[in-house]
Every structure is written in structure tokens, then in C-alpha cells.
A = this chain, B = another copy of it.
Amino acid sequence: MSRIADFGYCFGKRVFSISKNLVMHIERRDFLSTLTMASAATLFSGNPLLASLAPKKEKLGIALVGLGYYSTDLLAPALQLTEKCYLAGIVTGTPEKAQTWKAKYKIPEKNIYNYQNFDKIADNPDIDIVYVVLPPSMHREFVVRAAKAGKHVFCEKPMAPSVADCEAMISACKTNKVKLAIGYRCQHDPNIQAYMKVAKEKKFGKVMMVNSAAGYLDNRTTHWKQNKKLGGGVMGDMGVYALQGARLATGEEPVSVTALASTTRPQIYNQVEETMMFMLDFPSGARAACQTSFGINMNHLQINYEKGWLKMEPHSGYSGNKGSMSDGTIINYPIQNQQAKQMDEDCLAIISGSELIAPGEEGLRDIRVVEAIYKSVETGKNVKI
């Protein structure tokens, strides 16, 4: 009863979904009759029994926080393709952007927020999920505020600049009984799942060595990626893909790391690293050599097992990830839109109350290693994780 009590009561003609900072008012008539009404799924999420009984909301409303390149060029277009969610609102610090988006995507004025009035989103039943697409240094604040507003949260990678931030974000979402998914596209990609499966099923025996590289030539100079205070540096950005290449290829968490940071463009990369190379040890004895850079176009993964190999190129691209194995197996699943697939699957998990593919804990696993990598660079030594 206590779990049910956490999630909602029928009370006369209204249903109150009660959590610490969330009171949603839903007309009973609407509650029973419509599948598109906001918060119905939210109301029942987290409780499998209730979820199975609850009317399913077909499309959850997403509010994008931060309207930079990734929101503009990738998430918003993807949200035109999604089946389980739609672009319901925006949160931006730039009024001009608000007007452009409002017109382009027919977003109601009431679903447009700025960073100051953002917390009022708690009262907006159109918004089920807040997707935080801000610079990493702002993730903690906005994830916590979204959680306190009773909204489920999607958070872009890197999850945050520190383990402490990640833990605070996970804790806030738990306390407020909302889900937290990290915007990891790759784990939703069947091409990536294919090599994760090889490790899990030990198709070629144990994983012995992984080579994983992810980078691109970034010619911007004043983006958050070049700014330390905003959570920049290649390690959290592209580096997480190189790291995931190793983590997902082994199915293990590394126990130690040795890392080297460097730059060939010190005039630009004077606050954060342009390139990071790191070597990981895993509990099974598997090892990985990973490289990431804002100065090098590269995206490849090679896994050498006891009795074979698997290679991917690209392995963490927005599209076209593909690979082959030593037994002749080809990995080449076409995906219409990675971001749409990611958001749809995360929404489905929220609607059905099932496990998220990449919850906050998965983001934390990466940041734990990222933090150790920076410590290794700082000390010039191998660092236990």
C-alpha cells in the first residue's frame, strides 16, 4: 500500500499524484477516457502492478532544456519521428530562440520556460519528461530542479563533471520518484548491442584486448567543450564513447587506469585537454587502449577475444555503425534515427515501468572512470578505480 500511496489516490472526481514536489490535477473523466493525457503514465510508473492496470499514455511530452546544436539539429527533428513522445515544451535563456521554436514546432506559449521560471514546470501536465541538454556543469542543477518538479529526466552526456554531481542527481531522482535516463544513444543501437552480446555469451571466449577510439576535428574555440568551467574537455564528451567501447565490449567495469592528456592546439585547448589516451585494466584480465580527441577524426573499435575478433567502424556514430567478426558475421542493422530510438525506448520504459537501458547509474559508471582518468593525468600515475 505504501508504494501505491506514493503514486496517487483517487479522490472524488480528481486524481492526485502526490510526491514531495508534485501535485498533478487530472480530471477523472479525462483520466479514464484518454490515452494522450499528460501524467497518467507518470502516475503509475514505478509500480508494475499499477502500470499494468493504468491506461497507457501513448505519447509522453518532452521539454528540451537548452536549445543548442544538439537540441536544434538532432533532438527536435528526432522528436518529429518518435512514437512514444513528442516535443511538448522548451526551456531556454534566449527569448529569440523561444520565438523561433514556438513558430517552427507549434509549441504553446504555456509550455515555454526560461531558466528562472523553469520550476513552474511542476504545474504543467503537458510535460512528462525534462531533457537536459545544457553544458555539463549545469546538468546537476537542472536535473535536480526537474526531479523536484516531479518530472522524469533525460540528461545528456557527459552526465556531470564529477561523481559527486552524478550521485546527487541520482539521489534527487530517487527521492522524487522520477526516472533518470542518460542520453546515451549507443546502448540503444542494435549494432552496439551485437558486440555487447558477444561478450555476454562468450561467443569467442574471454575478451582479451580492446582498442577503442572516438574523436572528430572540432574547430570551435569558445564552445563549452573548450571551457573548463562549463564542464568541457574531450574526455567527458567524445571520451565517453571511447570508454564505452571498452566497457560495453568487455561487459565489465575497469579497476585501474593510466592516462595521458595532450594538445596540438594549445591556443584553443588551454583550459581542457584536446586529446586523451588511456589504458584500462578489467577484473577478468581484459585490457583496453582508448583514445579520444577534438583534433582527430576517428571512430573505430577492435575487440580481440581468446578465439576470434570483432571490429566496428564507426562504433559510436550517429548512424552507420557497423562491424564484422572473425567467423564472418556482419553487424549492420539499419537505424532510421538513433535519437528517436533512444527517446522512444526510454519513454516505453517509463510508461511500462521497466528498467531503463541507460539509467543514471550507467552515466555514473562512466564518470567514475573519467574522474580516475583526470586523476591519473594529474598524478602521472596509474589510478585504481
Q: Which residues of B contact A215 (CB under 8 A)?
A: 209
A182 at the B interface (CB under 8 A) = no
Contact (Cβ within 8 A) A304 B296? yes
Interchain nearest-CB distance for A208 vs B (Å): 4
A287/B304 contact (C-beta < 8 A), A260-B258, A381-B381 known? no
A213/B213 contact (C-beta < 8 A), A289-B291, A298-B309 known? no
Q: Which residues of B contact A290 (CB under 8 A)?
A: 289
**Which one of B258, B279, B298 lies within 8 Å of A209 (CB-CB)?**
B298
The digit string for A288-315, where 1 denotes a CB below 8 A from any CB of B, is 0111010111101010100001010000
The digit string for A258-275, where 1 denotes a CB below 8 A from any CB of B, is 101010100000000001
A319 at the B interface (CB under 8 A) = no
Q: Which residues of B contact A298 (CB under 8 A)?
A: 208-209, 302, 304, 309
Copies of this chain assembled into the complex: 2
**Which one of B211, B293, B304 lies within 8 Å of A208 (CB-CB)?**
B293
For residue A286, which residue of chain B has the nearest CB? B264
Contact (Cβ within 8 A) A277 B289? yes
A279, A295, A382, most chain B CB atoms within 10 A: A279
**Which one of B279, B285, B295, B302 lies within 8 Å of A279 (CB-CB)?**
B279
**Which one of B260, B281, B304 lies within 8 Å of A382 (CB-CB)?**
B260
A48 at the B interface (CB under 8 A) = no
For residue A376, which residue of chain B has the nearest CB? B258
Contact (Cβ within 8 A) A289 B258? no
**Which one of B209, B260, B281, B381 lies within 8 Å of A291 (CB-CB)?**
B209
The complex places the Cα of A283 from the Cα of B104 at a distance, in Å, of 51
The complex places the Cα of A380 from the Cα of B83 at a distance, in Å, of 52
Q: Which residues of B contact A300 (CB under 8 A)?
A: 211, 302, 311
Q: Which residues of B contact A289 (CB under 8 A)?
A: 211, 277, 279, 289-291
For residue A308, which residue of chain B has the nearest CB? B297
The complex places the Cα of A285 from the Cα of B277 at a distance, in Å, of 13
Contact (Cβ within 8 A) A211 B211? yes
Which residues in window 325-356 of A have CB below 8 A to B? none
Contact (Cβ within 8 A) B211 A291? yes
Contact (Cβ within 8 A) B213 A211? yes
For residue A206, which residue of chain B has the nearest CB? B264
Q: Which residues of B contact A296 (CB under 8 A)?
A: 208-209, 304
The complex places the Cα of A285 from the Cα of B215 at a distance, in Å, of 16
A290, A295, A297, A382, most chain B CB atoms within 10 A: A297
Interchain nearest-CB distance for A257 vs B (Å): 10
A264/B285 contact (C-beta < 8 A), A208-B296, A302-B300, A380-B381 known? yes
Q: Which residues of B contact A311 (CB under 8 A)?
A: 300
**Which one of B209, B279, B281, B297 lies within 8 Å of A293 (CB-CB)?**
B209
For residue A208, which residue of chain B has the nearest CB? B296
Contact (Cβ within 8 A) A262 B281? yes
Q: Which residues of B contact A208 (CB under 8 A)?
A: 293, 295-296, 298
Interchain nearest-CB distance for A280 vs B (Å): 9
The complex places the Cα of A144 from the Cα of B298 at a distance, in Å, of 46
Q: A208-B293, A262-B281 are in contact. List 11 more A-B contacts (CB 8 A).
A: A209-B215, A209-B291, A209-B296, A209-B298, A211-B289, A277-B287, A277-B289, A279-B289, A298-B309, A300-B302, A381-B381
A-B contact pairs, 20 of them (CB 8 A): A208-B293, A208-B296, A209-B215, A211-B291, A211-B302, A258-B258, A260-B281, A260-B382, A262-B285, A275-B287, A277-B279, A279-B279, A279-B289, A287-B291, A289-B289, A297-B304, A298-B304, A300-B311, A302-B302, A380-B381
